[in-house]
Amino acid sequence: MTRSPLPRGARSALALIVALALAACATHINRPAARSTAAPDRFTYSVDVQRRYTPPDWPETLYADLYRPEAPGARPAVLLVHGGGWEGGEPDDMRGIAERLAEAGFVVMNVAYRLAPAYRFPAPLHDLQAA
């Protein structure tokens, strides 16, 4: 029997993240995303124009939406990356998932990255590393 290199708490958190992501993906298939203009009252939401995550000399200024639970104390964090094969999509596509994760107590950084064909791979990967 081999032991996992992750501590028990980390394994539980990872399992929760995977379960939430899969459940959220399943609820978004063939269903238009709900767009709420008001932030739910269970967490604070920082608008993307306030959260630049790239350094000043980066090829393109990139922003992230930050969702933070209101409860004090340390929280696990999730770096949320939208899909699109490096060619499309935007952080707003992941808003529902970000809100669910924040409601579950996670700090969520929902990031934008440079898209092809204007930027070739590995540019998006470098953006995610910067985030």
- Kindly write down the DSSP assignment for every residue of 71-125, as one continuous string: S-S---EEEEE--STTTS--GGGGHHHHHHHHHTT-EEEEE----TTTS-TTHHH
The boundaries of the domain holding residue 111 are: 43-130
* Per-residue model confidence as pLDDT tens digits over 33-80: 444 444 444 656 544 446 889 999 999 999 999 888 877 788 899 999
* Per-residue model confidence as pLDDT tens digits over 87-97: 999 998 999 99
Query: Is residue 104 domain-resident?
Result: yes
Here the tokens at position 27 are: 């609820």
Query: Is residue 18 domain-resident?
Result: no
pTM comes to: 0.63
**Residue 8: its pLDDT value, please?**
63
**Residue 51: its pLDDT value, please?**
80
Q: How many separate domains does the chain show? A: 1
d(CA 75, CA 106): 6
Query: Is residue 33 domain-resident?
Result: no
* Per-residue model confidence as pLDDT tens digits over 1-36: 455 565 666 666 655 565 555 555 544 444 444 444
Query: Is residue 10 domain-resident?
Result: no
Query: Is residue 59 domain-resident?
Result: yes
Query: Is residue 16 domain-resident?
Result: no
Residues of the chain above pLDDT 90, percent: 38
Query: Is residue 61 domain-resident?
Result: yes
Average pLDDT over residues 78-106: 90
Q: 121 burial class (0-12, 13-18, 19+ CB within 10 angstroms)?
A: exposed
d(CA 36, CA 25): 18
